Structure 1
């Protein structure tokens, strides 16, 4: 078979394309893995802690708890006995 000079044939073009594509994929995957390792090793950014909410006066807290309790009873989720028990607990009786 005589030696060819000039442009590569169809198989040569396909082989060259496969090599280029494989190399590009390998490099891309390597870069992605390195980025993932860097992100995993980097410390998480610190966000300033939120200030705790201001304390609610006890009377307002009791009122809201009693309101929620009354709503649960009105929805039929609490029996009269459960309502009375929780009401006594909230009022401290």
Structure 2
């Protein structure tokens, strides 16, 4: 007579448990993917219906619809030019520190940037 095992399951029991877990995970994964695909199809159909329901808009805006082109305020231009000058001065300083530019060249280019 065989004795029943007490403790951990044997090789067949472990393989069976693994198969059940893998089968369940596959079934759940397939169900989730199917529901996501179904909801995506419904959203696409709703967007298409909404697009078809809206009247066609003209390709070119009329004079009334066209937004006027605003000039960039002088203050904004000054800030941008200051930022550009600072960037140029930093690059110039790096060139001078690395020895590429002499003191005279550095001074001349610095004066040119600041004008």
- TM-score, structure 2 normalization: 0.37
Greater relative CO, 1 or 2 (CA 8 Å, sep 6+): 1
